[in-house]
Structures are given as C-alpha cells and as structure tokens.
A and B are shown apart, each in its own frame.
Chain A
Amino acid sequence: MVLPMSTNTPAAVSFQGVARHFGEVRAVDQLDLDIAPGEFFAMLGPSGSGKTTCLRLIAGFEQPTAGAISIFGEPVAGVAAYRRPVNTVFQDYALFSHMNVLANVCYGLTVRGMGRSERETLGREALALVKLAGMEARKPAQLSGGQRQRVALARALVVRPKVLLLDEPLGALDLKLREEMQGELKGLHRRLGLTFVFVTHDQGEALSMADRVAVFNDGRLVQVGPPEEIYERPRSRFVADFVGGSNVIEPAMTATWIGSPRPASLRPEKIGVLADDAAAPDNAVVVAGTVSEVLYHGATKRIEVATPAGQLVAALSAQGGPTRPGESVRLAFARDALHLMDGP
C-alpha cells in the first residue's frame, strides 16, 4: 500500500486505547496519544502516575494489557524490545560495568555485527557529540554521574534510533549539572532532528525543554499541550497544582468575584500587593489577609497569605512588600488572571 507521505505522515509514536494493568493496579489506563515526528515530548507526573510505564511500553519492556501502540505507523504488538527502532537512556544509566566507555557506546553496533574499526569510529564520534572525547578507555565506575549520563546518551544515540526515550535522565544530577544538561539535550535534539520522549517528575524541566507536555495522574493522561498552555490554562485542579503550584480558587469564591461557579487557577506571579493607601485598580479583585510565611528566593519572594478565599501564594519581586509573618496585606489581581477549570 502506498500512501502519499506528505498528507499522511504517521505519528512517531501512537497510543490507541492503551492500558497496562498490574493485577488490580491500573498503571496506565485508556491512553490515546500521538507524538509527532521530531517532537521533544515530555511525560510529566508524580511517581506512580504511569509515565514511566508509558515509556516502557514504547521501548517494549512492557506489553499493553489492552490497545495498540505503533511506532512510525508500524504496529509493535509482539515486537520484542531488541527489534524496535527506539532506544532508551535509563534512569540509572544501566552502563555495562565490565566494559569500558567505548565498548559501552559501541555495544549496539557490536551486536549488529559491525566491524571493529567502523564501529569504533562511530563510537568516538558519538562520544565527541556528548563531549566525552578522551574518556574511551575508562570504566563506568571511574566516571562522575554527569559523565555516565553522557555515556548512556551516546550509547543510545549511536545506533540512530527513530525515537529516543529518556527516563528521568537528569534525576540523579545536581542542580547546576542538570541545568547544563537541559541545554545540551535541547541542542542535541535540534541538531539530530530525532523524536525525543522524555519522562520527568520535575515540572520545571518539562516546561523548559519540551515542545509538548503530557501530564499524567493515576495512570491517566490528564492534559496534553505546549508548555505555555499547560502552565497558563490548566484544565484541572491537579494540573494547576502540580505544574507550577498554582492557587486553586474554590467555585464559591469564583462565583462571587466573576460570577462563574467553577474552580479557577490563579498563578502566584499574577498576584500583587497593594500599598496601604493605594486604591484598587479597575477590573481587579482585592483580598485582604494576614501573611503567614515569607520565603526568600533571590530575585523573587513568595508570600503565603491567609485570606477569606483560603491560603493564597503570591510571587513578588524581592524588593518591598511584606517582610514577616503577621503583617496585614491587601492582595490584588486582574479578573482575567483567573483561569476557569473543569470540575466542581
């Protein structure tokens, strides 16, 4: 069958009604999701939300209980992991401790029967790509966490997967290294043009790196979209709270403020503090309250305020504003800063 590719490019990864149950536990349930070719796709959720199971379903380490998965249009039901055109960067890196760095990177080429000189050339190239040239003869035990992560990345990239799967790849790195690697992964993705599927529980990481983010909770996909959409327009309380720690306003409060009895998300940075004598601006909601906690974050500070609308968190510039708990403040925000969500 010949299809016109331009009008009907298959998704890089497509989940159709996929479920994965472990006994009574529904790790993944009723998942329909298409990941576009070349996309940097993040699966975000707390631990146990099913995101890692999704990745393992793509890799072939798990088989779906129901539904079908296809990779670039090819159904992969019953296709073993070692026959799938995808490669994984494991959370614990899973480097072969008895092989040196170069042998690790070349492993995928070795098992494909590629000759020694040819595979070592490609292996060295892959190591250079992740800035590890010169480390070929080291054993994994002699590398730092960040270097092991790069070896794992090179080892997966050298076999030219159609889809690169990354399971919390930056989870074990310290903050500075993680930020550095975020930039590098982004750069690699741009240069190689591969489809990256990235699992993380860190919303900052998902928002800053991905083209699209899928948020999982309790085995279900709760929202999928570009980072701005996920952040600005969460569809449910869970997304509002998990992504960026938004304030959730109860329907009763929303009804009195803007006349819609639905829960609303209100981002901390959209809330300001009114000076004592200032008049409320037009079209703004003003709430009075008492500061219960002040957390200094360098450029910004977050204050927690007990108000009739519940505990509200506001992100303010570090200069000015209340400085210690117990102070009375008036909070103000624009009406359209309230984003209405589904649910009661």
Chain B
Amino acid sequence: MSLVAATIPAPHERLLRRISDVLTARHGFYLLLLLIPPMLWLGVVYLGSLFALLAESFFAIDDFSGVVVRSPTLATYRQLFQPANLDVIVRTATVAAVVTILAVIVAFPIAYYAARYARGRVKAAFYVAILMPLWSSYLVKVYAWKLLLAKEGVIGWVFARLHASWILDAILALPTVGGPSLSTSYIGMVLVFLYLWIPFMVLPVQAALERVPVSLIEASGDLGASPGRTFRSVILPLALPGVVAGAIFTFSLTLGDYIVPEIVGPSSLILGQVVYIQQGTAGNIPLAAAFSVVPIVVMGVLLTIARRIGAFDAL
C-alpha cells in the first residue's frame, strides 16, 4: 500500500468527541467548566472562611461571661495594640525577618549552582536533596532538631569533643538571642525555621535564575562588566522576583507557625502561639482573629514596598 493510494479513515464520531467539539466552539462554557472546581475551593471554602475569621476580629468578648458579643466594635483591636501584644508582633516579625535574610544568604548559592552549573544526574540529585526534607513529617524534623540542639545534644557534644565548648558558651551568653541552651534560645529557633523553610527559598530563586539567558551574562561581560558587576546589575535584578517569592514563603510561614516555637526556643510567645492559645484555652476568638490579621497586613505592606522598589520589574 503506498501513501498516494492509501485510504485514510475519517476520525470516529464518538460522544466524547462531540463534547470536545462543543467545548472547543463555546470558549466561555469551557472556561466555566475549568474554573468551577477551583472557584468553589478558593472562593467559597478558603476565602470565605478567611473572611469569616476576619469578620470575627470586629467582635469582642464579654469580660464577665466570656461570650462573643456579635456587634461591630474596635475593642479587640484596642486590645491587640496593648504593649504586651505589640511585643509579640515585633518579636515575631523580627524572627521572621532574620529567618528570611538567612534563608536568602544560604539558598542563593545553592540555587545559583543548581541553575547554572548542575546538569543531568547532579541536577536530579539536587532536586531530591532539596525536596527530601519535605517528604518527612514536620514534627519529626522539629523534634530531631530539639535533640541536636539540646544541652546534652549532638551539637553540644561535638563542641565538647573539640574542646570548643567555650565558643558555644560564648554564643549562648549573647544577650537576647542566647539562652541556657541552643534549644531554648532564639538561635535554635531561627536555625530550625531556616532548615524547615529553605526549600521554599531555593526553588523559586533557582527557577528565576534558570530563566536568565546565558547570553545576557555573556553580553554583560562583553560590554566590559566584571563578574561582580554582572552579578549586581544583571543576575540579581533578574533573580529578584524569585527572591521576593521565596521571601514571601519564608516570612509568612514563620509569621504563622506555632509548633516550632512551642518545641524550640525561649518561653516568650510568638504570634502563632498566641493565636493558638487565644482561640483554644483562652477562648477569645475575636482576639485570635485580630492577631491573624497581622501577618496579612504585614505581608501586604512588604509586597507593596517590594513593588515600589521595582522587585517585580523583571517579571
């Protein structure tokens, strides 16, 4: 049978094919079908419950009965701005900021290597290495870190064996960030956060760096820019959206977490813990809701600033 002489059968007329025809011809209907499930999820379940929670923050609790009074008031927000609560907010934002900055410093070289140099198997190994921590239970990891950081833990033991306990003691003697042991200090808490969130920083930065064409880096050098200058003027600006995306993850995840500070770190509370306590044992849902508004406002402000300084220009 030759190609010229062959009879090619027409495509079968089946029901699915008919449906496809209808969907192709009616674009709006097709989009509607595509968007109904995510809209139900995101719009109703997710945003709906979020707004219900936020609405709760404009109610207040009756001091005597402990019952939520369902009439709009700013009393809860007045409570939020009491010095003790402001303290929690500032402390949490500081921890989140430190975690984010350290995450950028640690993640950038890893992401840069993965994007520019790793190929084939090395690259596959990179993805496994970055993602593997996400496969194991979050609690297991945090408790493992507690064991590493504890006074009699692995890190203390290594320092002792190296006759370098004095270095550890000196670090722990630092005001504010230090403490009786690593596992009860801010240093320990930040280390655990850093470990937990690092994949969320590496992956977007790597994706952004991978999209920077090699020819742009060559062009920069060709025009007389030293490698350092090329990094500052070309690579970094083009990777900045990735860095900001990663920072959104690390910052907001830290702002909202209540398990890590429960297990590792000093006894003073972090925002997530306060929300947890207020909605649970304290039974003050409006205050918990008001506290939940804080990360949303902080992230909104940070994103606006990032936009103003042109972090998204390269998108």
Contacts and interface: CB of A to CB of B under 8 A. Distances in A.
Interface stretch (A107-115, A169-177, A307-315, A328-336): A107-115
Given A94-B216, A98-B314, A111 B225 contact: yes
A155 interface: yes
A88 interface: yes
B120 interface: no
B222 A98 contact: no
A92 B233 CA distance: 20
B223 A90 contact: no
Interface in B294-315: 313-314
Interface in A37-83: 59-61, 80-83
A96 interface: yes
Nearest to A110: B233
A82 B217 CA distance: 11
B252 interface: no
B229 interface: yes
Contact of A94 (B218, B225, B226): B218
A87 B221 CA distance: 10
A165 to B, nearest CB: 8
A329 B182 CA distance: 96
Contact of B213 (A87, A94, A112, A155): A94
A107 to B, nearest CB: 5
Contacts of B229: 111
B220 interface: yes
Given A96-B234, A98-B313, A59 B222 contact: yes
Contacts of A81: 218, 221-222
Nearest to B217: A94
Given A98-B313, A98-B314, A111-B229, A159 B218 contact: no
Given A96-B216, A96-B234, A87 B222 contact: yes
Given A61-B218, A98-B313, A98-B314, A92 B224 contact: no
B313 A159 contact: no
Contacts of A98: 237-238, 313-314
A7 interface: no
Nearest to B218: A61
B112 to A, nearest CB: 18
Contacts of B213: 92, 94
A97 interface: yes
Output the residue of A61, A87, A98, A159 with the most chain B CB within 10 A.
A98
A61 B238 CA distance: 21
B219 interface: yes
A107 B220 contact: yes
B268 interface: no
Interface residues of B, number: 20
A87 B218 CA distance: 11
A82 B234 CA distance: 14
Contacts of B314: 97-98
Interface string B222-260: 111111010001100110000000000000000000000
Contacts of B218: 59, 61, 81, 88, 90, 94
A98 B309 CA distance: 13
B219 A111 contact: no
Contacts of B238: 97-98
B71 interface: no
Contacts of A83: 224
B176 interface: no
A95 B212 CA distance: 11
Interface in A107-150: 107-108, 110-112
Output the residue of A80, A83, A86, A97 with the most chain B CB within 10 A.
A97
A110 B232 CA distance: 13
B136 interface: no
Contacts of A92: 213, 215
Nearest first, the 9 A-B pairs at minimum CB distance are A108-B223, A94-B215, A94-B219, A98-B314, A111-B225, A81-B221, A82-B221, A88-B222, A98-B237
23 contacts: A60-B221, A60-B222, A61-B222, A80-B221, A81-B221, A81-B222, A82-B225, A83-B224, A86-B222, A88-B219, A90-B219, A92-B213, A94-B218, A96-B234, A97-B314, A107-B233, A108-B224, A110-B233, A111-B226, A111-B233, A155-B223, A156-B223, A159-B223
Given A94-B219, A107-B225, A111-B229, 10 more contacts: A59-B222, A61-B221, A82-B222, A82-B223, A82-B226, A87-B222, A90-B219, A97-B238, A98-B237, A107-B233
